[in-house]
Structure 1
Amino acid sequence: MNPDQVAITSELHTLRDYIRWSVSAFHQHQVWFGHGHVTAWDEASQLVLNAVHLPWDTDPVVLDARLTQTEKERVLDYVHQRVELRRPLPYITGEAWFMGLPFHVDERVLIPRSPIAQLIETGFEPWLRPGSVNRILDLCTGSGCIGIACAYAFEEAEVDLADISTDALEVAQRNIERHQLGDRVSARQGDLFENLQGERYDLIVSNPPYVDADDLASMPAEYQHEPGLALGSGDDGLDITRRILREAADHMTDEGLLVVEVGNSEVHLMQAYPELPLIWVELDAGGNGVFTITAAELRAHAALL
């Protein structure tokens, strides 16, 4: 350890000490909170507790427990990664939560944060037609969090997780196994619908790359750790979304529903397809840029695409 680290470990002893010190380090280095926590205290608490292998909901009385030297050094390493290297906390801990479910994550996939979770929690009502849902596709799946959460919400459905990245699908497969859903959830490699010929789905959900060139260039350093393939999508952020709109109807049942997140590129999509009857979802818990459209509407407006 360097002299500064020796001084820290000799002066700070309890979990509470290290949480407070981490908060100060976050403020000093102006880290960006955009991958799970919104306050420095919450993120510092999660970082320190994880470093000493304690759950996030540990009894607060434990905060006055003293750390071993090894634990102190691990906390310092985590804080170094967070403030100096600007690694997002989920990449440091190897875990992120989505819709109340834990998922393994690393730099091969985006960190789960999609507002589509709000739609999954309500079973996509009122946009999804009533009745059973037999097949679901999570397109551009990354970690698999959206598709796996859908498998929990629709307990009888078979779910495909599709991605162009074999690295991402390795992470998704790990999460399939973690949630013991291998009998209903499958990972499928391909460029969008490339290897899904003949497949039909009642529900297609996608959080594709959608960051436009200007936003991509101005993103905080933390986002540079995420795979560029999963973020950028051309000058207006819509290169992938345009393909999804053109191709999705061929892979949907007659009453199928398409749900896509495009974030801040919402304005570009409205300008590009002013006649397309997209329904923009109001997200009560925050977020923007999620639309739905039915298979029938896509087919009726195919000439626009």
Structure 2
Amino acid sequence: MIEPREQQQALATLQTPRDCLRWGESALRRAGVFLGHGSDDHGDEVLALLLHVLALPLDTDPRMLDARLLADEIERFVGLIKRRINDRTPTPYLTGQAWFCGLPFSVDERVLIPRSPIAELIEAGFQPWLDPGQVHSVLDLCTGSGCIAIACAYALEQARVDASDISADALAVCEQNIAAHRVGDQVSAVLSDGFDNLPGRYDLIVSNPPYVDADEIAAMPEEYRHEPELALASGGDGLDFTRRLLREAADHLTDEGVLIVEVGASDRHVVAAWPQVPFFWFEFERGGEGVFMLTRQQLLDFHHCFAPR
């Protein structure tokens, strides 16, 4: 916790960006904040907060480190560090921005903070598993901020992309990002409970659905409790939504269509629930786990495995 006395001392002594970076990193380290929302470095989090306050880009001239800051700039910076520590608010919620596939996205507590390893697949145009030139329709199911859908639009320029979510609040953020990236002629936000309002078929369905199991929900660091539980929790083993997805996806894929789903640490539950299903599990160079792929034909061949019990 940053107590009032420490806050007042910081306001009285900090003068330059260099001072702020040094003090902020020490404060975050002492407080033991959890890093899991796009950064694994305390210094990077502090830098993001400071650049946000100063409205400066990441490639700002290093000579700025010793510039004299205004009193209100220092006050705003210290206030953000205090919220990061005392409230455990994730940095992207404090700045209102997160990066995914090298693209900026507006985020707030209506949506998850983008961090999916699916970014690597998008950046590669889903090659070698798909021919990008043959992907004409994409569904991002449980889109949240719309980051996956919009990144897919950049990577697959000829594809129509539907960004679907059950949350009207999340879709409001998604639509804001669609407008900011000027992809409204390619990406559509659709309010839908699963596939209910999605009558078409897609060459690719990508989904980062709620998949956190009950034990993980109970043990989550405070930072994650700022995110919408609707986008995280999915029953005792984290697979409530995934079960429905596997049952229904084949009906919404083209003949050569592919389903890609992130289940994170619940991958062990997937393997235990359907040991006979030939899930293909991706490996990622930048870290991450629990993303599988199935073709439409595989979904049909093993459809009996996904039937409700």
TM interval, shorter chain, is: over 0.9
Q: CA deviation at 1:212?
A: 0.5
In the alignment, what sits opposite 1:25? 27
**What amino acid sits opposite 1:9 in the alignment?**
L
Q: What 5-or-longer segments of structure 1 have no aligned partner?
A: none
CA contact (8 A) 1:50 1:56 kept: no
Distance 2:36 2:161 in 1: 28
DSSP-derived class of the 2:140 partner: strand
In the alignment, what sits opposite 2:97? 95
In the alignment, what sits opposite 1:155? 157
CA contact (8 A) 1:264 1:289 kept: yes
CA contact (8 A) 2:125 2:132 kept: no
In the alignment, what sits opposite 1:14? 16
- 1:220-246 deviation line (CA, Å, top 9, x unaligned): 100000000000111101000111100
CA contact (8 A) 2:101 2:119 kept: yes
In the alignment, what sits opposite 1:74? 76
Distance 1:287 1:303 in 2: 30
CA contact (8 A) 2:260 2:292 kept: yes
In the alignment, what sits opposite 1:229? 230
CA contact (8 A) 1:127 1:292 kept: no
Q: CA deviation at 1:5?
A: 3.3
Quick check: 1:291 aligned with 2:292? yes
In the alignment, what sits opposite 1:136? 138
DSSP-derived class of the 1:84 partner: helix
Distance 1:186 1:207 in 2: 18
Q: CA deviation at 1:132?
A: 2.0
- Identity within the alignment, %: 57
Q: CA deviation at 1:287?
A: 0.4
CA contact (8 A) 1:129 1:255 kept: no
Distance 1:248 1:182 in 2: 25
Distance 2:181 2:133 in 1: 25
Q: CA deviation at 1:9?
A: 2.0
Distance 2:75 2:290 in 1: 42
- 1:136-167 deviation line (CA, Å, top 9, x unaligned): 00000000000100000000111000000000
For residues 190-229 of structure 1, the aligned pairs below 5 Å read: 190-197=192-199, 199-229=200-230
Distance 1:250 1:129 in 2: 21
DSSP-derived class of the 1:258 partner: strand
**What amino acid sits opposite 2:104 in the alignment?**
P
In the alignment, what sits opposite 1:266? 267
Q: CA deviation at 1:129?
A: 4.7
In the alignment, what sits opposite 2:245? 244
**What amino acid sits opposite 1:201 in the alignment?**
Y
Deviates more, 1:49-58 or 1:250-259: 49-58
CA contact (8 A) 2:126 2:132 kept: no
**What amino acid sits opposite 1:39 in the alignment?**
D
- 1:103-123 deviation line (CA, Å, top 9, x unaligned): 000000000000000111111
Distance 1:278 1:188 in 2: 28
DSSP-derived class of the 2:134 partner: coil
DSSP-derived class of the 1:138 partner: strand
In the alignment, what sits opposite 1:256? 257
CA contact (8 A) 1:173 1:187 kept: yes
Distance 2:129 2:184 in 1: 28
TM-score normalised by length of structure 2: 0.96
Distance 2:221 2:5 in 1: 30
**What amino acid sits opposite 1:151 in the alignment?**
A
DSSP-derived class of the 2:99 partner: strand
In the alignment, what sits opposite 2:129? 127
CA contact (8 A) 1:255 1:295 kept: yes
- 1:83-131 deviation line (CA, Å, top 9, x unaligned): 0010000000000000100000000000000000011111112222564
Q: CA deviation at 1:10?
A: 2.1
Distance 1:129 1:49 in 2: 39
Distance 2:81 2:285 in 1: 33
**What amino acid sits opposite 2:277 in the alignment?**
L
**What amino acid sits opposite 1:247 in the alignment?**
E
